[in-house]
Amino acid sequence: MSAAPAPPSAVVDLLGLVALGELFAFDRMAADARLAPDLRRRAELSAMAAAEMANYRRLADRLTELGALPDDAMAPYVTALQAYHDSTEPKDWLEAVTKAYVGDAVADDFIREIAEALAEPDRQLVLDVLHESRYADFAAAEIRAAIEADPRVANRLSMWARRLVGEGLSQAGRVAAADRGALTGLIVRDGAGDAQKLFRRLTAAHTERMAAVGLNN
């Protein structure tokens, strides 16, 4: 069943959410880069962070083009995203790369699903700001190498990943509860079952990614 095009307010809400996600991800990854054991790896995570800002700029420009102030479009999500990052501050390098690996991927899956509800050019814009796979590859390689060096690491990072997902879902719930209807309208197009199906798809993809680096869900 093909849905009607998303109303402009829904587009602004969604772009605002994604833009703030980029801005906060930049901030936290930049800070987490200090946990790197050497300058090379510090530069890698810093570059991952910097890539978020190029995406942020494109989203903010599009919001302006749509007649919205980026700050206003982002404002409704500040509390939830801030709370997510505050409650998931990595305490070492492996927690930092695991957070980047897990968080970016779940965010990308979510964005990819939502993009399908948008008309062009917003659909393509949102698909364009998905993370480059070389960053995920870098994070995955770091996790795998650490587990190979010390298998006990797998247990600790699996627990950490579960906490990341738990905190993420809890804050996603807050976003949905505060939503004025436009955003959830993008997800729940054919009935309440949509949200459940989306949730199941995101969880399945996450479980697969965990297994790929030697973590269990």
Compare residues 15 and 210 and give the one whose CB is closer to its own copies: 15
CA distance 84 to 176: 14
**71 and 55 Cβ atoms separated by less than 8 Å:** no
> Please, what is the minimum distance in Å from the beta carbon of residue 25 to its own copies?
11
Q: Per CB under 8 A, which of residues 56..75 are in contact with its own copies?
A: 56-57, 60, 70-71, 74-75
Measured from the Cβ of residue 47, the count of other Cβ atoms closer than 10 Å reads 15
CA distance 212 to 33: 24
Among positions 9, 35, 53, 217, the unique one binding its own copies when judged by CB under 8 A: 53
Cα-Cα-Cα-Cα torsion 200, 163, 103, 147, nearest 10 degrees, comes to -110
Compare residues 56 and 84 and give the one whose CB is closer to its own copies: 56
The set of residues, in sequence order, having a beta carbon less than 8 Å from that of 194 and lying 6+ positions away, is 187, 188
167 binds its own copies (CB under 8 A): no
Compare residues 69 and 204 and give the one whose CB is closer to its own copies: 69
Angle between helices 93-115 and 39-65 (to 10 degrees): 30
Among positions 27, 108, 167, 194, the unique one binding its own copies when judged by CB under 8 A: 27
> Please, what is the minimum distance in Å from the beta carbon of residue 128 to its own copies?
17
Q: Interface with its own copies by CB under 8 A: which residues?
A: 20, 23, 26-27, 30-31, 33-34, 38-40, 42-43, 46-47, 49-54, 56-57, 60, 70-71, 74-75, 78
